[in-house]
Structure 1
Amino acid sequence: MLHRKTHATRRRVLAAALALPVLASVAACGDGGDDDGSGSGKAVELSVFWWGAEERASLTEKALALYTERHPNVTFKKTWQANQGYFDKLATLTAGGNAPDLFQIDDNYLAEYATRNVTLDLNPYRSDGELDVSKFPESLYQYGVVDGELAGVAMGENTQGLVFDKTLLDRHGLPAPTTGMGWEDHIAWAERVSKTAKVPGTQDPSADYKAFWVWLRQQGKDLYKGKQLGFTEQDVTRWFELWKGARDRGATPPPDVIHEGNVTDISKQLVVTGKAATSWVWANQMPELKKNTDDELGVVAYPGDPSGQWARASMYLSVFRGSPHRDEAVDVINFLVNDPDVAQVLGTDRGLPSNMEVRRKLADAVDDPAMKQSIRVEDDLADKFGPAPSVPPAGHSDVKKELLKAAEEVQYGRQQPAQAAAMYFAAAKSAVGQG
């Protein structure tokens, strides 16, 4: 599956043609047509850039070392850093024509980089069978398509997860939340937890775009409709009013603690610091959460109809369109997403393996109870997921930031829901270039 072809293919012709606009600015890197590693055995060094903590760096380096073990002529120049500042650095590198051959990206920026012709269209490789996504859920691979081009390959599948402190609930004889519980029912449950356990029942997710997005889909709407917003100012007002009501009933923490949950990293989420009985996170973050508490944790879908959730690409690997080693870079992606030995190395750090066969083998082999929970909840939801939305348009990261700002205006009582909703809607429209 991983052997590269030595003859010219339709895929190479297309890839080279697509690369011409970018290659004009990166001529020093080569003309892109000289395929150094297409079976010639010539030494190739691929630059790879990703974000994450030290553990992710260690796991990624082990996976890349496994590739080099099987392809000794290919080595890697590895660079990683924390999430903060990652995309600033990537933007600087691409603007100067010095982008890494392979880079990690997420759905906040995939459309932006694709529409700027930074990412290589991987469809020709898929058509030629050199990039195999046949064992991915179709909606997962489609979540990397931007304007008809496959701009990135999902490194893993993820979905939204409501994580709760099972030990706390059991101690007070309280029931656990369940998948399918309505939003009002969830708030009533959280109010009961607050009164009985003397711990706020739920983190307030009004600033969390993940929760807002699921809630919108359950109303028959979406965060985006094409390259425009898929919701109205009135929708935002209803969302803010829902959570103002929850705060007024004592179902959530006070504003300063809510803010802490809004801005902290995963290791300090309120469900593990004991400041709330639930946190709104990604399902694959269960292992990292569990490292930071002695309590037993559980995870279910977000409230409401679970079809509002979908098989989301946790993050992608993309190839720089101007890379002189495009074929090798694609081959590395193919290896990372389809090799079962790689899955044993990476685990669920970037989400569940996209390849369903590989995922099943991993599920049988893992010993970590929290990782098993992550796998189980997504498997349980697999037949309940709705269709994936399109990849968010350019400006998505600002849409998220503006929601946080507007929601906190309401959380702190500085604005009423309708005022903050108007402010947010105007800012969100501006972020996506909607007139």
Structure 2
Amino acid sequence: MRNRLSVLVMLLVVAALVLSACAPAAVPGAAPAAESDSTDAAPAADSGEKIELRVAWWGSQDRHDRTIAAIELFEELHPNIDVVYEFAGWADYWTLMTTQAAGGNLPDVMQQDYARLEEWVSRGLLTPLDDFVADGTLNFANVSDSALAGGKLDGVLYAVNLGTNSMVVVIDADKLAEAGMEAPNPEWTFAEFEQFATDLHEKLGIYGMSGALTNEQLWKNIYLSLGQWVYSADGASLGYEDDQPFIDYLTMVKRMQDAGVTQTREQELAQAGGSVETDLIVTGQSAATYFWSNQIVAMSNAAGEGRNFILVPMPRPEGGASANYLKPSQFFSITSQARHPKEAAMFIDFFTNSIDANKILMAERGVPISSEVRVALEPLLNVPQKLMFDYISSIEATASPIPPPDVAGHANLINNVYWPLVIDPFMFGQQSAEDAVRILREEGNIVLAEAAGQ
């Protein structure tokens, strides 16, 4: 096993910056699979010849440590496979993968996200996995169809779910007790959320909520709760007609920022690239935060022993349904540029079904999809892991249906419209919420229509 990340990332980030100057957004373009012929084709693992299998993922330091340890176990079982791994934080990871895709140099196995799956498939960058299921390399005997559904497009499996999760508000239980307050109702509204965070701030003198409330995922949550979606079915425009719910939400977020209940947008930008391990709740500077449920493991490890946390569902608009849905936390996919697709499938199967591997990983990526693995892990769960398992169980019955993956124009819209033209000018007081949302619709529809027409 070798890690060649540090030099590679520096080189690729420089390359990405050059490329980004010529492109509207960091969106992966189609790239041909690495070519080979009969004289230099990559050897198969069962040939006994040493091969190099490249694997890439994003995540926290805790994820890196656990994944590397699981890789070492895989190598022990397959001594002729040398796994070369690459990892980074969320933003840097996609820069790295986009640059490699353009150069025809993607790894064999890449961690993939539900929101980006359709985009990468549409550009021919991922390999269908059904043949590996048919020949038994990928064994899903203990996996439900619903757990695999998120990785399918048009009935074809392109990605294997690494764990189930959902968004969650995390509250410091000790800070809550210090403030003399109770945990909110699981069906709380945005109005109740604002009051709750404000009360924590006023009683404790710290942030009631860490911040990042303008993240696009919360824009999506609003319309999911209202039974709609942010994009039209054809991906050529926004998918909702009524802008008022988003206007009301942005107005609330700005009000909370100006009152000191959350961090300012300027502070958020200064901390860009951070992870859940650097969230202000870890250091006690905030009484609450939000993220994906699987991240409670890394956050709790960073916070240290003796800390107590409560998990509650995301708040919703008045009269809305649940703003939560059950999501594949992330996937493993085999890229179309993989030199060793068979061994890549073996690696994914190992992560899915190996009890020993999952005792190392300990559901850091979410609740495992194999029922056999879940049963084996239950007696071993520590407090944050049990919190995660219990939270997912508690929202299963009421969660909204999973929305479609993001459309082709999503990355361009977020990078070139949502943040620079909508959110930042609004949060810095340069435009009204009404103007911000109008610009999102006008400029966003242009970007989406262009992407849909390609």
TM surpasses 0.5: yes
The residue type equivalent to 1:386 in the other structure is: S
Pairing of 1:64-79 with structure 2 (within 5 A): 64-79=71-86
Distance 1:393 1:132, change over 3 A: farther
Gaps of 5+ in 2: 1-30
Partner of 2:308: 296
- Taking the aligned partners of 2:40 and 2:338, their CA distance within structure 1 comes to 9
197-206 vs 116-125, which deviates more? 197-206
Alpha-carbon distance, 1:51 to partner? 2.8
Match of 1:270 in 2: 280
What is the aligned partner in structure 1 of residue 166 from structure 2? 159
Q: What is the CA-CA distance between 1:105 and the residue it aligns to?
A: 2.2
Question: Structure 1, residues 342-398: CA drift from partner, whole Å, max 9, x if none?
Answer: 11111233222222331232232123x222212221122223223222221223334
Query: Which sits farther off after the overlay, 425-434 or 312-321?
Result: 425-434
| Cα 1:189–1:51 shift into 2, 3 Å | closer
Q: Does the CA contact (< 8 Å) of 1:338 and 1:355 recur in 2? A: yes
- Say which is worse superposed, 82-91 or 210-219, in terms of deviation: 82-91
Checking the alignment, whether the CA contact within 8 Å between 1:29 and 1:324 is kept in structure 2 is: no
Structure 1 residues 28 and 35: alpha-carbon distance in aligned structure 2, compared to 1, 3 A threshold: closer
Change (3 A) 1:154 1:278: same
User: Are the aligned partners of 2:89 and 2:275 in contact in 1 as well (CA < 8 Å)?
Assistant: no
- Give the corresponding residue for 2:27: none
Match among 29, 36, 58 for residue 27 of structure 1: 36
| Farther-moved stretch of structure 1 (408-417 vs 258-267) | 258-267
Is the Cα–Cα contact under 8 Å of residues 49 and 79 in structure 1 kept in the other structure?
yes
Using a 3 Å threshold, how does the CA distance of structure 1 residues 272 and 318 change in structure 2: closer, same or farther? same
Deviations 1:391-413 (A, max 9, x none): 21223334444434423333332
* Alignment CA distance shift 1:306-1:253 (3 Å): same
Alpha-carbon offset, residue 134 of structure 1: 5.0
Deviation at 1:283, TM superposition (A): 1.2
> Residue by residue, what CA displacement relative to the aligned partner does 1:273-304 show, whole Å, maximum 9, x if unpaired?
44432212111122322244464222111113
Distance 2:444 2:377 in 1: 40
Task: Decide whether the 8 Å contact of 2:222 with 2:246 is kept in 1.
Answer: no
Distance in 2 of aligned mates of 1:399 and 1:290 = 34
Q: Residue 69 and residue 306 in structure 1: after superposition, are their counterparts in 2 closer, same or farther (change >3 A)?
A: farther
Secondary structure of the structure 2 residue equivalent to 1:224: coil
For 1:309, the aligned partner's letter is: N
Structure 1 distance, partners of 2:79, 2:206, is 56
For 2:394, the equivalent position in structure 1 comes to 380
Q: CA deviation at 1:61?
A: 2.3
Aligned pair partner of 1:281 in 281, 291, 296: 291
1:177 is matched with which residue?
184
What letter corresponds to residue 168 of structure 2 in structure 1?
Answer: G
Shift of 1:260: 5.8
Could you tell me which of 309, 329, 336 is aligned with 1:321? 336
**Deviation, structure 1 residue 147:** 4.1
Residue 170 of structure 1, CA deviation? 0.3
**TM superposition score normalised by structure 1:** 0.83
CA distance in 2, matches of 1:81, 1:248: 33
Aligned-partner Cα distance in 2 for 1:120–1:215: 34
Q: Matches of 2:218 and 2:103 in 1, distance apart?
A: 37
Following superposition, the deviation at residue 237 of structure 1 comes to 2.2
- Deviation at 1:338? 1.7
Provide the secondary structure at the position in 2 that maps to 1:47.
strand
Q: Establish whether residue 36 from structure 1 lines up as the match of residue 44 from structure 2.
A: yes
How many Å apart are 1:306 and its aligned residue?
A: 6.7
Residue matched to 2:364 = 349
Q: Cα distance 1:31–1:301, how it changes in 2: closer, same or farther (>3 A)? A: farther
Q: How does 1:10-409 map to 2 (within 5 A)?
A: 22-23=32-33, 26-27=35-36, 36-37=44-45, 39-133=46-140, 135-228=142-235, 229-232=238-241, 233-247=243-257, 251-257=261-267, 264-293=274-303, 295-304=307-316, 307-367=322-382, 369-401=383-415, 402-405=417-420, 406-409=422-425
1:29–1:238 distance in 2 versus 1, CA, 3 Å? farther
Deviation at 1:244, TM superposition (A): 3.8
The Cα shift of 1:187 comes to: 1.8
Equivalence for 1:426: 442
Using the TM superposition, give the Cα deviation of residue 175 of structure 1 relative to its aligned residue in structure 2, in angstroms. Answer: 1.0
Q: CA RMSD in A?
A: 3.0
Residue 326 of structure 2 aligns to which amino acid in structure 1?
Answer: A
Distance 1:107 1:36, change over 3 A: same
Give, in whole Å, the separation in 1 of the partners of 2:111 and 2:356: 20
Provide the C-alpha distance between the structure 1 equivalents of 2:268 and 2:54, rounded to a whole number of angstroms.
40
**Partner SS, residue 243 of structure 1:** helix
* C-alpha contact 1:257 1:275 (8 A) present in aligned 2: no
Q: Normalising by structure 2, what TM-score?
A: 0.80
CA separation of 1:303 and 1:356: change in aligned 2, threshold 3 A: farther
| 1:329 Cα deviation after fit | 1.1
Whole-angstrom CA distance in 2 between matches of 1:127 and 1:317: 18
Amino acid at match of 2:313: A
CA contact 1:143–1:390 (8 Å) conserved in 2: no
Quote the sequence identity (%): 24
Q: Distance in 2 between matches of 1:197 and 1:318?
A: 45
Q: Secondary structure at the match of 1:76?
A: strand
- Measured after TM superposition, the shift of residue 53 of structure 1 is 4.2
**Cα shift at 1:263:** 6.2
Verify the 8 A CA contact 1:179 1:306 in the aligned structure 2.
Answer: no
Alignment correspondent of 1:413:
429
CA distance in 1: counterparts of 2:273 and 2:92, whole angstroms: 15
Residues 261, 355 of structure 1: CA spacing in aligned structure 2 closer, same or farther, 3 A cutoff? farther
Instruction: State the shift of 1:174 in Å.
Output: 0.9
Counterpart of 1:6? none
**AA in 2 matched with 1:51:** W
How far apart are the structure 2 equivalents of 1:366 and 1:428? 44
Query: Any idea what the Cα deviations from partners look like across 1:78-120, whole Å, max 9, x if unmatched?
Result: 2333434322332232223222211222234322221111110
